[in-house]
């Protein structure tokens, strides 16, 4: 249930509605809007009787919420969320480009790539210090040393840092260094990790589980919002399918569905979807056309020597081409839409 307040509702009226919701044993969640405040009712078991609140001063409407997820839904918040990371706003009408290697391998490697992607026009730098690898014998990331390298990259280039957290043990450490905390596909339903991310003041990039439905994905995001952190960026990175021409199958149709269902920004990761460098530029172009709010792309200056995901990493020159093409499609779409 969502209680929509009158435009000129006073603070006292809002406070007394909040108190009335608590009195019924529910949890109120005020949602500031452009023009008016709405108050969501959470943690109700079974339907809420709207008439309990409709007569209270300042209450305009009681709207039943039909979706299983609430805080992430457009029913609760029609206004699109823009996640602010430094100078970059991700969401609504913007298109953000996040780029960098799969893993931080050394200071020289990270700085070399960061300078190239910055020159090409990337908005944020990505790189894993903790890597979720299928084999325990594969490179697992540099850990804290990797985070310190990312700190240096931010100092030198000014690019905000996106990096993955794998577990609760290292959450505080990753949170301290990251500008955006990534939760990977394998952890999409790690509920204790989601809850901890919900307590963070840092934005969270939540990847779609490789076999997750959109409802499951949005419910995972709901865990983060329910704890108080509404700065969530969703990331479609391909789902498992029967094909063998790519590592996963990029589900582009997730973008219009998620944009319709949720106010949260959604970006595309074409690198993990494809698993092969030759598909990354075409899929990035498609991401703009389908109106994603950005892309996250793996780039390496020497992919043949990369310690992880070399096959899908673009050479810096290819990333230049990608940025040019993607920005040009974006600008065209935008100017085409201005006359609508
Ligand atoms: C990554 O971004 O490096 C990564 C491990 O991605 P995913 O969780 O999508 O596999
Ligand atoms: Mn990777």
Instruction: Tell me which residue has its CA closest to atom 10 in ligand 1.
Output: 185
Angle at 309 between CA 305 and CA 312, to 5 degrees: 100
102 lines ligand 1 (CB under 6 A): yes
Which residue's alpha carbon is at the smallest distance from atom 9 of ligand 1?
185
- Strand 88-90 relative to strand 83-85: parallel, antiparallel, unpaired? antiparallel
Residue with the smallest CA separation from ligand 1 atom 6 is 184
Helix axes 316-338, 280-289, angle to 10 degrees: 20
CB 80, CB 72: distance < 8 Å: no
pLDDT at residue 168 greater than cutoff 80: yes
Pairing of strands 96-100, 124-126: parallel
The yes-or-no verdict on residue 339 having pLDDT over 70 is no
Residue from 277, 208, 267 nearest 247 by CA: 277
The reply to whether ligand 1 has any atom less than 6 angstroms from the CB of 163 is no
Q: Two tokens at 47?
A: 């339907």
Q: Is 237 in the pocket of ligand 1 (CB under 6 A)?
A: yes
The residue nearest atom 4 of ligand 1, judged by CA position, is 184
Q: Is 184 in the pocket of ligand 1 (CB under 6 A)?
A: yes
Chain centroid offset of residue 89 CA: 12
Q: Is 101 close to ligand 1, i.e. is its CB under 6 Å away? A: no
C-alpha 54 – ligand 2 centre gap (Å): 51
The dihedral built from the CA positions of residue 251, 253, 259 and 262, taken in this order, carries a sign that is negative
Query: Using one digit for the tens of pLDDT, what is the confidence trace for 178-196?
Result: 999 999 999 999 999 999 9
Residue 323 has pLDDT above 90, yes or no: yes
Ligand 1 pocket: which of 237, 248, 254 to mutate (most atoms within 8 A of CB): 237
Res 333 pLDDT > 70: yes
The rounded distance, in Å, linking the Cα atoms of 162 and 174 is: 10
pLDDT reported for residue 337 = 83
Decide: 151 and 177 in contact? Cβ < 8 Å: yes
Q: Which ligand is nearest to the CA of 273?
A: 1
Cα distances (angstroms) measured from residue 164 to each of 78, 173, 182, 197: 29, 11, 4, 12
pLDDT in tens, 1-57: 999 999 999 999 999 999 999 999 999 999 877 788 999 999 888 889 999 999 999
Q: What is the 3-state secondary structure (H, E, C) of the chain?
A: CEEEECCCCCHHHHHHHHHHHHHCCCEEEEEECCCCEEEEEECCCCCCCCHHHHCCCCEEEEECCCCCCCCCECCCCCCCCCEEECCEEECCCCCEEEEECCECCCHHHHHHHHHHHHHHCCCEEECECCCCCCCCCCCCCCCHHHHHHHHHHHHHHCCCEEEECCCCCCHHHHHHHCCEEEECHHHCCCHHHHHHHHCCCCCEEEECCCCCCHHHHHHHHHHHHHCCCCCEEEEECCECCCCCCCCCECCCCHHHHHHHHECCCEEECHHHHHCCHHHHHHHHHHHHHCCCCEEEEEECCCHHHCCCCHHHCECHHHHHHHHHHHHHHHHHHHHHHHCC
Give the relative orientation of helices 316-338 and 107-120 as an angle to the nearest 10 degrees: 30
Ligand 2 centroid from CA 127, angstroms: 9
Contact between residue 8 and residue 36 where contact means Cβ atoms under 8 Å apart: no
Ligand 2 center–CA 123 separation, angstroms: 19
For residue 272 and ligand 1, the question of a CB distance below 6 A is answered with yes
Cα-flanking dihedrals φ and ψ of residue 57, to 5°? -60, 135
The verdict on the CB of residue 238 being under 6 Å from ligand 1 is: no
The pLDDT assigned to 154 comes to: 98
Among 174, 254, 272, the mutation site with the greatest number of ligand 1 atoms within 8 A of its Cβ is 272
Which pLDDT band holds residue 66 (cuts at 50, 70, 90)? Answer: confident
Pocket test for ligand 1, best of 164, 271, 274 (most atoms within 8 A of CB): 164
Q: Is the C-beta atom of 247 inside 6 A of ligand 1?
A: no
Residue whose entry in the numeric block shows the structure tokens 């043990």: 169
Mutating to test ligand 1, I would choose from 150, 269, 312 the residue with most ligand atoms within 8 A of its C-beta, which is 269
CA of 103 to the centre of ligand 2 (A): 7
- The two tokens of residue 12 are 């006292």
Question: Considering every ligand atom, which ligand is closest to the CA of 165?
Answer: 1
Contact 274, 246 (CB under 8 A): yes
pLDDT over threshold 70, residue 242: yes
To the nearest whole percent, how much of the chain has pLDDT over 70?
99
pTM score, two decimals? 0.96
Q: Is the CB of 128 under 6 A from ligand 1?
A: yes
- In angstroms, the CA 171 to CA 48 distance is 36
């Amino acid at each position: 249930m969502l209680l929509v307040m009158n435009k000129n509702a006073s603070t006292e009226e809002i406070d007394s509605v909040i108190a009335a919701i608590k009195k019924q044993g529910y949890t109120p969640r005020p949602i500031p809007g452009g023009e008016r405040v709405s108050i969501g009712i959470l943690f109700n078991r079974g339907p809420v009787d709207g008439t309990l609140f409709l007569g209270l001063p300042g209450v305009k409407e009681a709207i039943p919420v039909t979706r299983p997820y609430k805080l992430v839904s457009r029913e609760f918040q029609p206004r699109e969320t823009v996640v602010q990371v430094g100078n970059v706003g991700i969401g609504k009408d913007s298109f953000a480009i996040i780029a960098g290697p799969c893993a931080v391998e050394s200071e020289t490697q990270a700085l070399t790539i960061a300078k190239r992607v910055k020159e090409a026009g990337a908005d944020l730098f990505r790189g894993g210090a903790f890597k979720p690898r299928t084999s325990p014998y594969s490179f697992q990331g540099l850990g804290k040393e990797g985070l310190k390298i990312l700190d240096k990259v931010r100092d030198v280039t000014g690019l905000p840092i996106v990096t993955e957290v794998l577990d609760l043990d290292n959450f505080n450490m990753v949170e301290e260094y990251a500008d955006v905390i990534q939760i990977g596909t394998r952890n999409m339903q790690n509920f204790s990790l989601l809850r901890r991310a919900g307590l963070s003041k840092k934005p969270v990039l939540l990847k779609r589980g490789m076999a997750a439905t959109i409802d499951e994905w949005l419910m995972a995001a709901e865990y983060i919002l329910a704890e108080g952190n509404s700065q969530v960026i969703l990331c479609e990175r391909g789902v498992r399918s029967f094909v063998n021409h790519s590592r996963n199958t990029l589900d582009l149709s997730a973008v219009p569905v998620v944009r319709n269902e949720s106010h949260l920004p959604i970006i595309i990761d074409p690198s993990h979807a494809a698993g092969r460098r030759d598909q990354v530029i075409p899929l990035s172009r498609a991401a703009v056309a389908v109106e994603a709010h950005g892309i996250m792309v793996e780039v390496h200056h020497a992919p043949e020597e990369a310690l992880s995901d070399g096959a899908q990493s673009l050479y810096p020159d290819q990333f230049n081409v990608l940025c040019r093409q993607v920005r040009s499609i974006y600008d065209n779409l935008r100017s085409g839409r201005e006359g609508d």
